[in-house]
Amino acid sequence: MPVYEYTALDSRGKKTKGIIDADSPLTARNKLRGSDLFPVKIRESSSRVKSQPAGTTSIKTLLRRIKASEISTITRQLATLMSAGIPLVASLELLITQEVNPLLKKVLAQTKESVNEGNSLASSLANHSKYFSQIYINMVTAGEASGSLDLVLERLAEFSENQETLKGKVISAMVYPVIMLCIGVAALLLLVTFVVPKFVAVFDEMETALPLPTLIVIGVSNFLKSYWWLILLFFIVAGFIFRRAKRTERFARMWDEVKLKTPLFGSVIKRMIIARFARTLGSLLQSGVTLLNALEIVRNVVNNILVAEIIDNAIDEIKEGKALSAPLSNNILIPPVVVQMISVGEHSGELEKMLNKIADIYEREVESQVSAMTSMLEPFMLLGMAVIVGFIAISILLPIMEMSQIVH
């Protein structure tokens, strides 16, 4: 449905601007008049996605997106407005007027119109499941059912911010090593493909047998110059095959198992999964979602088939009357301390708080482990680059030194 930006006058003659969702400009004008607003100017919002031939996608459509941080911000703002006593529709209207992202503005306008028509906020957000996750919609549903929507929105904002903070810390910790690696590889490629060939011309004039290191470097240089396109093609094809293979359950399971068993990285990934599991489950339970429904949602966000199977098994055993800690204790992927803390939470009736504590602990461990890992990677990367550059330098110097000895 199109979205229209309008300028109108209220009953006191005061000019007001906003955004409205309607089938046509005429419908938009009628809606405004029904709200005691007299439209002065109406134009279709630029955020509308124009129809395209099937199978095509415009560059604007690809670039148009809503960031997770923007969803977190509007959630926090909506919680603040509602806790101040402002009605839901009025709160959404205020968010629309200050939003700068045209796509998010359109989504909010459509959500407001849906709520205005008598639908719940959760069902209105479900129409935009591309931007609002299953966790988000289920927590809003529970908040509306319990009459504590403002509190649930506050928890949702905190949940989103925690996830983004952890993700940001991991990414920022890895940025420096990745930049170093890219610069190092680029420098080595430049050295091998442009600098080494200049010395090859000199060595050809010498007409003497070259040392093995020099022959290796010349061979690598010639290969890169002649077959660089083949290497690029190999990586493109390999990436395509890998993405297709990940869609199969067998390969996806094997890949998830490899990730957990990889030295250094496997331990970090495992801790991140446990932190995400505990944080998501704790937030859902705290918002009033039932344990079985919460586990069904969590299994889809852990992003690991092996852990998802553990959750499936836990769901089956909970349906038989067992506690959550019982099925989790039978698997080596779940650390005993996590099982023990969940058991304590179940017996004390504070499972949600205990799950949030588990998430806090493992998020801190992820941060410290990533920092330690990057500190270890940096010297090894520098050493590796030094060895390669040193090998190239020696391979160039050896023939020159042999030639100088012959001259003497």
pLDDT of residue 206: 67
| Separation CA 20–CA 36 (nearest Å) | 14
State phi, psi for 158 to the nearest 5 degrees.
-65, -40
> Which SS3 state, helix, strand or coil, does residue 292 take?
helix
| Separation CA 338–CA 342 (nearest Å) | 6
pLDDT of residue 3: 67
pLDDT of residue 355: 92
pLDDT of residue 21: 66
Task: Look up the CATH architecture of domain 68-132.
Answer: Up-down Bundle (1.20)
Q: How far is CA 209 from the centre of its chain?
A: 55
pLDDT of residue 235: 92
Q: Give one DSSP letter per residue of 304-321, joined into a string.
A: -HHHHHHHHHHHHHHHTT
Q: Do domains 68-132 and 159-408 have the same CATH topology?
A: yes
pLDDT of residue 213: 84
pLDDT of residue 343: 92
CATH 3.40.50.150 is the classification of domain 159-408: no
pLDDT of residue 52: 41
> Is this prediction's pTM over 0.95?
no
Domain boundaries, the chain: 3-48, 68-132, 159-408
> Which SS3 state, helix, strand or coil, does residue 56 take?
coil
pLDDT of residue 345: 92
Residue 315 token pair: 């769901």
Residue 296 token pair: 């069904």
pLDDT of residue 58: 42
Q: What angle do CA 255, 164, 114 make, to 5 degrees?
A: 105
Q: pLDDT digit string (tens) for 217-258?
A: 888 888 888 888 898 999 999 999 999 998 888 898 899 999
Residues of the chain predicted below pLDDT 70: 1-3, 21, 45-64, 206-208, 403-408
